[in-house]
Amino acid sequence: MLRFEKYQGTGNDFVIFEMSELDGLQHSLLAQKVCNRRFGIGADGMIVVAPSKVATMQMIFYNADGSIATMCGNGIRCFAKYATDHELVKTKVFTVETLAGILTLEIIESDDLTSLVRVNMGSAIYQHESVPLPGDGDKFINQMLEVDGVPYTVSSLVMGTIHTVLFMDNIDEEAAARIGAAIENHPLYPNKTNVNLCKVVDSKNIDVLTWEKGVGITLACGTGSAACALLSQDLYDCETSVTVHVKGGNLLMERVGEEIYMTGPATLICKGQYLYN
């Protein structure tokens, strides 16, 4: 039996295990099993809490399909609550090693069920193996991408993980699913891509709906929301502090120079024993 805890951050939900309890288990296969919403616990992703030689702790993140992801914004807030509540970290500000680099987090406030966590998401990476190289060789911003014969204007960057953003006047689940699935697997993206539909409501508010690679539509995506906030500021003159409205709640994105700080909740749902077979 494996001890687990389940958390959610603005409706993006995760099963958390400690590395020390997963001896000999194949993480990718375990992620597929525990994330299955009928035959498993059910979650968008699986988080493994591990020690680190270069940061306070290490977060290893898997999508529901078992693929590993370099970062997870909602997930790292849940990781932070878990690590704090289990006294794996003793300070309000600490660092977490991820495949996207070392991030600094701060527990703003906390009770038994929910913590408010602020994460320095870092800055966007525009030239990266996961990002298509545009004609001008600079940034893949406002580029034309054809999906099923329909041209879309897209922007792609790495904000912890690869994100592609489409700005639209109206966003809905049908469009997110159709366009998301097609662009996730578009040959232009060697490592696939997460796909975000974004509506600029006003200079301080945007709506975001995300199709996550390796998962599908989720109620929220922290890294995707940060990518959309940054592009909304650069392309649509949104203010440096933007509230991102996602299906599962709201995330505050504050820009300092080229860095984005995300503040949002992390909530414990349940604790249990997973009967792995």
Ligand X SMILES: N[C@H](CCC[C@H](N)C(=O)O)C(=O)O
**Residues designated catalytic:** 72, 221
How many Å apart are CA 121 and CA 261, to the nearest integer? 6
Residue 120 tokens read as: 């320095």
Cβ of residue 76: shortest distance to ligand X, in angstroms? 8
SS3 category, 77: helix
How many Å apart are CA 144 and CA 123, to the nearest integer? 24
CB nearer to ligand X: pick between 40 and 248 = 248
Residue 149 is assigned to a ligand binding site: no
Residue 222 is assigned to a ligand binding site: yes
- Out of 15, 41, 47, 69, which residue is the one contacting ligand X (CB under 6 A)? 69
How many Å apart are CA 185 and CA 165, to the nearest integer? 15
- Out of 213, 244, 251, 260, which residue is the one contacting ligand X (CB under 6 A)? 213
How many Å apart are CA 140 and CA 50, to the nearest integer? 35
Q: By CB under 6 A, is residue 176 in contact with ligand X?
A: no
- Out of 46, 166, 171, 215, which residue is the one contacting ligand X (CB under 6 A)? 215
Q: By CB under 6 A, is residue 95 in contact with ligand X?
A: no
Q: By CB under 6 A, is residue 264 in contact with ligand X?
A: no
How many Å apart are CA 81 and CA 206, to the nearest integer? 26
- Out of 56, 130, 223, 267, which residue is the one contacting ligand X (CB under 6 A)? 223
CA atoms within 13 A on the CB side of 105: 36
Using CB under 6 A as the binding criterion, the count of chain residues that bind ligand X stands at 17
Cβ of residue 100: shortest distance to ligand X, in angstroms? 9
Residue 260 tokens read as: 């984005």
Taking CB under 6 A as the binding criterion, the range among 86-94, 139-147, 219-227, 257-265 that sits at the site for ligand X is: 219-227
What is the identity of the amino acid at 89? V
Helix 73-85 and helix 222-236, axial crossing angle in degrees, nearest 10: 130
Q: By CB under 6 A, is residue 265 in contact with ligand X?
A: no
**Length of the chain as a residue count:** 277
- Out of 72, 124, 183, 244, which residue is the one contacting ligand X (CB under 6 A)? 72
- Give the interface with ligand X as residue ranges (CB under 6 A): 12, 63, 69, 72-75, 161, 194, 212-215, 218, 221-223
Binding-site residues for substrate sit at 12, 63, 73-74, 194, 222-223
